[in-house]
Amino acid sequence: MPRTVAIVGIGNMGWAIAQHLADRGWTPIVRDIDPERAAQAQARGLRVAASAAEAARDVDTLIVCVVDAAQTEVVLFDAVSGAATTLGAGACVLLCPTIAPADVERFAARLAELGIDCLDAPMSGGPARARTGTMSLMLAGAAAPGDSRRDLLEAMASPVFRISARAGDGARTKLVNNLLAAINLAGAAEALALAARAGLDPATTLAVIEQSSGQSWIGSERLRRALAGDLAPRAHVSLLAKDSRLAVEMARAVDADVALGAAAAARFAAACAAGMHGADDAALYA
């Protein structure tokens, strides 16, 4: 399998993936609309493309790591700069953003019309784990494109979960996971704020929680940083606000009662409305 791969979107996650793959002997061709991030990639010795179409030219696999469905649409299907204008038949697109299942299905269908494979491949674990190849990847879609790219997928992530052959099931799984993440983080922030209001030391309380029944990975990871005043953005409030909203919309579409998820989604929406959309989601504690 060719060891050159295109990555469009080198924000926190895409940049971590690009660096890790470069360290593992792959040749990433990267594209981002942020000139500073592009300059950073160039300084790192990576090839920087001027458009998604340029990045995708003559590569076997395109990894899309942008934020949402609207950005994904432009990356893939813009009439001038879209990757679909240069990807050849038999190439494969890995859709890594957290987007609605219906959008995954729509993109996969349009790519199939062009003879391009699509793997629904949302990721989880954050930039630190992406940088070391230990994030998780949720794969859905036909088996053959993933099987032929096993080396790349296993370089990117561990574990790699094979969800199903139905495009959109990766997105469904990711939304279920992220709804629980939102519930856990909102709950942990609320509980620790209660501890502080009740006159308890928040750090001591968190240490107790971490060794007791209230522990959650996201609560510990985020609130440890919040208490230390380390709010450098790794995952913006706006991302979990988007993901929890999409999860609640999916729940409504299948007539599922997600009262706790809706409450958590409302917390993140309120944080965005209060001007915290660009902050790390650990700032929810505030």
CA angle 145, 24, 239 (to 5 degrees): 70
pLDDT of residue 233: 87
Counted domains in the chain = 2
Residue 192 confidence (pLDDT) above 70:
yes
Q: What is the pLDDT of residues 237-282, one digit of tens each?
A: 999 999 999 999 999 999 999 999 999 999 999 999 999 999 999 9
Full residue range of the structural domain in which residue 155 is found: 4-166
Q: Are residues 25 and 119 in the same domain?
A: yes
One domain for residues 243 and 279: yes
- Could you tell me which of 28, 13, 44, 67 has the C-alpha nearest to residue 152? 28
The dihedral built from the CA positions of residue 188, 189, 190 and 194, taken in this order, carries a sign that is positive
Looking at the structure, tell me whether residues 42 and 84 fall in a common domain. Answer: yes
Residue that terminates a domain, selected from 140, 166, 192: 166
243 and 134 part of one domain:
no
Structure pTM? 0.93
What average pLDDT does range 81-86 have in this prediction?
97
For tokens 């990433």, the residue is 28
13, 120: one domain: yes
Given 127, 150, 166, the domain boundary residue is 166
Average the pLDDT over 197-219 and give the result: 97
Whether residues 86 and 137 fall in one domain: yes
Residues contacting 252, CB < 8 A, separation 6+: none
Domain boundary pick from 119, 145, 166: 166
| CA neighbor of 218 nearest in space, from 178, 253, 245 | 178
* In a shared domain, residues 143 and 198: no
Over residues 66-94, mean pLDDT: 97
156 and 196 housed in the same domain: no
Nearest CA-CA partner of 67 in 126, 19, 12, 18:
12
Q: What is the pLDDT of residue 230?
A: 92
- Using DSSP bridges, classify how beta strands 123-124 and 135-140 pair: parallel, antiparallel or unpaired: antiparallel
- Does pLDDT of 1 surpass 60? no
236, 241, 246, 248: CA torsion to nearest 10: 150
Please give the backbone phi and psi of residue 50, each rounded to the nearest 5 degrees, phi first: -85, -10
Q: Which residues are catalytic?
A: 174
Reading the block at residue 116, the tokens are: 């391009």
| CATH code, domain with 117 | 3.40.50.720
Q: What is the pLDDT of residue 60?
A: 94
Is residue 155 located within the same domain as residue 225? Answer: no
